[in-house]
C-alpha cells in the first residue's frame, strides 16, 4: 500500500483530469473504481507514513519524496484541528501547536524544501520551551527563575531508561528525539512522544509515583524539572498550573 500510494500521489490530479473532462463529462480512460482504489490506497499509506514517523523516525528519513513528507504534515494539522473541534484544546492552543507544522510545510513547498527539512538541525531548548502552552502563561522573569534556572538537560541513547514506573521524580520535556512509554511492563501498545512532548507531569505536581516506564527510542535529549521546581511553577502562576494539569 505504501509503495502504490507514494507512486500514485503525483498521478492523482492527472487521473482526475482524465476521468472528468473540461465539460464535466466522465471520460473512459480512467475508471471510477480505479480512481477510488488509488485514493483508498493513498489514505492507507498516509496513515502508515504518519505511524512510522512517530514510531521509527529513522525510517522516515529513508522516504525521500516530497509528497510523503507533505502527507505527514497535513495529517498532523488535521489531527490538531480534530482536537480543537472536540474540545481537547482551544483555538489559541491549536494555533500555537500548529505553528511548527505550518512552518515545516512552508519550507517543504519552497525550492529544495525536502532537502532542507531532511538536513534541518535540532530545535534549541529555548525554541521548544517557547512553543509549550504552560511556559507561555509565565512572565519572562518566571521563565528564567522557575524553568531555565532549575532545568537539567540530559542525553540518552537508544533503549536507555529515562523514567521508572513506581519511582518518585520530576517531569521531562523532550528537546530532541522520541521516547517510548509503557505501563505495567506491557510492550504490546507503547506510546511514543516526540519533541515538545512531556511526561511525568502529574506525578511531579502531586509528589506521586510515576505510572509509566519511559525509554529512549533513539538518541534523545530531555530537559528535567524536579518535583519541587514543577510545584513552584504551579504555585507561582495559576494559568500555568491549569495547563500543566491539562
Q: Confirm if 10 and 44 have CB atoms less than 8 A apart.
A: no
Q: Which residues contact 149 (CB under 8 A, 6 or more apart)?
A: none
Of residues 63 and 205, more confidently modeled: 205
Q: Confirm if 205 and 230 have CB atoms less than 8 A apart.
A: yes
pLDDT band at 16 (very low <50, low <70, confident <90, very high): low
3-state secondary structure of 214: strand
7-16, 114-123, 142-151 — most confident range: 142-151
Beta strands in 75-206, from DSSP E residues, in sequence order: 152-156, 161-163, 171-176, 179-182, 191-193, 198-199
Grid cell at residue 135: 511556559
Q: Confirm if 30 and 39 have CB atoms less than 8 A apart.
A: no
Averaged pLDDT, 95-99: 80
Q: What is the pLDDT of residues 183-207, one digit of tens each?
A: 776 665 677 777 888 899 999 999 9
The H or E element containing residue 97 is helix 91-108
Phi first, then psi, for residue 192 (nearest 5°) are -120, 135
Grid cell at residue 155: 542525553
What's the pLDDT at 176? 85
The H or E element containing residue 222 is strand 220-225
Averaged pLDDT, 179-183: 83
What's the pLDDT at 173? 93
Q: Residue holding cell 481537547? A: 88
Model confidence at 86: pLDDT above 80: yes
Query: DSSP class of residue 109?
Result: T
Model confidence at 52: pLDDT above 70: no
Domain 128-245 belongs to what architecture?
A: Sandwich (2.60)
Model confidence at 41: pLDDT above 70: no
Model confidence at 111: pLDDT above 90: no
Model confidence at 21: pLDDT above 50: no
pLDDT band at 233 (very low <50, low <70, confident <90, very high): very high
**In whole angstroms, what is the distance from residue 97 CA to residue 75 CA?**
14
What's the pLDDT at 225? 94
Of residues 33 and 136, more confidently modeled: 136
Domain ranges, ordered by start, for the chain:
2-119, 128-245
Amino acid at each position: 500500500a505504501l509503495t502504490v500510494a507514494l507512486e500514485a500521489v503525483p498521478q492523482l490530479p492527472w487521473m482526475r483530469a482524465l476521468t472528468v473532462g473540461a465539460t464535466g463529462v466522465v471520460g473512459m480512460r480512467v475508471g471510477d473504481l480505479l480512481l477510488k482504489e488509488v485514493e483508498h490506497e493513498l489514505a492507507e499509506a498516509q496513515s502508515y507514513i504518519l505511524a512510522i514517523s512517530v514510531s521509527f523516525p529513522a525510517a522516515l528519513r529513508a522516504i525521500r519524496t516530497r509528497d510523503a513528507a507533505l502527507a505527514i504534515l497535513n495529517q498532523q494539522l488535521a489531527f490538531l484541528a480534530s482536537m480543537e473541534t472536540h474540545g481537547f484544546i482551544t483555538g489559541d492552543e491549536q494555533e500555537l501547536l500548529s505553528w511548527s507544522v505550518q512552518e515545516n510545510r512552508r519550507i517543504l513547498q519552497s525550492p529544495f524544501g525536502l532537502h532542507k527539512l531532511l538536513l534541518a538541525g535540532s530545535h534549541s531548548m529555548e525554541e521548544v520551551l517557547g512553543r509549550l502552552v504552560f511556559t507561555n502563561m509565565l512572565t519572562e522573569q518566571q521563565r528564567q527563575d522557575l524553568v531555565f534556572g532549575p532545568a537539567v538537560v540530559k542525553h540518552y541513547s537508544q533503549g536507555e531508561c529515562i523514567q521508572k514506573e513506581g519511582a518518585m521524580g520530576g517531569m521531562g520535556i523532550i528537546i530532541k528525539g522520541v521516547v517510548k512509554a509503557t505501563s505495567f511492563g506491557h510492550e504490546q501498545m507503547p506510546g511514543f512522544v516526540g519533541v515538545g512532548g512531556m511526561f511525568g507531569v502529574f506525578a511531579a505536581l502531586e509528589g506521586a509515583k510515576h505510572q509509566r516506564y519511559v525509554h529512549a527510542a533513539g538518541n534523545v535529549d530531555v530537559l528535567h524539572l524536579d518535583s519541587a521546581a514543577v510545584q513552584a511553577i504551579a504555585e507561582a502562576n495559576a494559568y500555568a498550573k491549569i495547563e500543566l494539569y491539562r
